[in-house]
């Protein structure tokens, strides 16, 4: 969120996509179905594992090794147990 930026905040800069550039990865399209709450995080070497909790009504849509979009970023779901799943970010 731009309103939270302060001096020293690290941000991601990317060049704009140009006509003819290769597209790769997962495309994120659609609408927001619900919200997840970060309930824990653990450092794992150069990565951070985030544990998130979702409302019960969304559990049938999330599967192990499936994709999920969090804040517009497509990530792989590592493990799902009941209403809790985790993702790993490097």
Structural domain contains residue 16:
no
Whether 40 is in a domain gets the answer: yes
pLDDT given for residue 1 in this prediction: 66
Predicted TM-score (pTM) of the model is 0.73
Residue 90 falls within a domain, yes or no? yes
Reply yes or no on whether the pLDDT at 33 is more than 80: yes
Whether the per-residue pLDDT at 51 is higher than 80: the answer is yes
For the residues 49-74, what does the mean pLDDT come to? 94
Task: Give the percent of the chain with pLDDT over 70.
Answer: 99
Domain contains 21: no
For 89, the domain range is 34-90
Cβ atoms of 75 and 67 within 8 Å: the answer is yes
Q: What is the CATH number of the domain that holds 85?
A: 2.40.30.20
> Number of folded domains in the chain?
1
């Amino acid at each position: 969120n731009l309103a939270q930026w302060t001096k020293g905040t690290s941000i991601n800069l990317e060049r704009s996509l140009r006509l003819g550039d290769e597209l790769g990865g997962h495309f994120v399209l659609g609408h927001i179905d619900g919200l997840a709450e970060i309930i824990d995080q653990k450092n794992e070497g150069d990565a951070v594992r985030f544990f998130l909790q979702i409302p019960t009504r969304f559990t049938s849509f999330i599967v192990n090794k499936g994709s999920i979009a969090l804040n517009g970023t497509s990530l792989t779901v590592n493990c799902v147990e009941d209403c809790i799943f985790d993702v790993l970010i490097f």
